[in-house]
Amino acid sequence: MTKPELLVTPQSVEHVKALLEAGADAFVLGEQQFGLRLAGDFTVDDVREATALIHAAGKKVYVAVNAIFHNDRLDALDVYLQQMQQIGVDALLFGDPAVVVAVRELGITIPLHWSPETIATNWFQANYWGERGATRAVLARELSLEEVLECKEHANVEIEVQVHGMTCMFQSKRSLLGNYFLFRDEVMEVENRKENRNMFLHDKERKNKYPIYEDVNGTHIFSPNDMCIIDELGELFEAGIDSLKFDAVLQDFDYTVNVTNLYRQAIDAYFDEGEDAYEDIKDDLLAQIEAMQPALRPLDTGFIFKETVY
């Protein structure tokens, strides 16, 4: 078995440095106008600086260009793709076929990772995009463990699975929050998550609070819980899942570093010392995450062990 990649989403170049020390293998970077729900907004210069650091450590850089593109962004996308080619990043995350067309027309040689969020639900799709240039499929968070394993068994491309962090439940291209406050004649400047990261939709009946924010891609509403399967990784290891992702959007700097290190310990224990070594420490690793978990963000296992109800 091959040791899976530990993929994380940093907030800044300084965060990249800390996460390298914590044991991350790969990083998702990007800029809001091209990538969706990023943990941090990286300018082209930031990507260049971070890539130099990450490559010096022998690790990988993936840049998100998985936004929903309208015509007015296509010229800027072409320029951005050429800049990423010049920097030499290791992969591009995409959902819109416009990225595939642009990559072909521009002669971009960066590998593609198909990442369309909720619609990546079967291995036929993964292989379809594999035949069109993708080397990896990022599976939907709504899949059960059984469905994930079946996708891996039949896919001809690498498979990436989220194992920790919050998940997006809803996106609208409209600025729903900003429009609401304008309707009420209230001034609200919605620039990025730094200013509105503590905004919630409160469901009193279920006692849930759903994080919500706006950026240039519209309005995003997240799950009330954080997914965590650090104690349930065995079958993913055995199946040969290629990449395990900790999506750290809206998470604190130190929390992200500490959780990354705990997943590093879990992966290394299993692959360097054996299954029993992982079994011996997994409950303690979970307990450490539970101890640092914010009160507003209880842990669950996402859809890994339950059926998705649409």
CATH 3.10.20.600 fits 5-165+226-300, yes or no: no
Q: Which strand (E) or helix (H) includes residue 202? A: strand 200-203
**β-bridge pairing 200-203 and 208-215:** antiparallel
Looking at residue 201, its pLDDT comes to: 57
Both tokens assigned to 117: 């969020």
In b/e form, how buried is each residue of 97-112, taking b as 16+ CB within 10 angstroms?
A: ebbbebbeeeebebbb
Looking at residue 188, its pLDDT comes to: 46
**Helices assigned H by DSSP within 119-209:** 123-130, 145-154, 176-183, 193-196
Looking at residue 191, its pLDDT comes to: 40
Q: Where in the chain is the domain with CATH 3.20.20.70?
A: 5-165+226-300
8 A C-beta contact, residue 10 and residue 248:
yes
For the chain, residues with pLDDT lower than 50 are 180, 183-184, 187-196, 309-310
User: What are the distances in angstroms from CA 14 to CA 18, 21, 24?
Assistant: 7, 11, 14
Looking at residue 300, its pLDDT comes to: 83
Looking at residue 206, its pLDDT comes to: 57
Phi, psi of 263 (to 5 degrees): -65, -35
Looking at residue 307, its pLDDT comes to: 59
Relative orientation angle of helices 13-22 and 253-268, to the nearest 10 degrees: 30
Looking at residue 137, its pLDDT comes to: 97
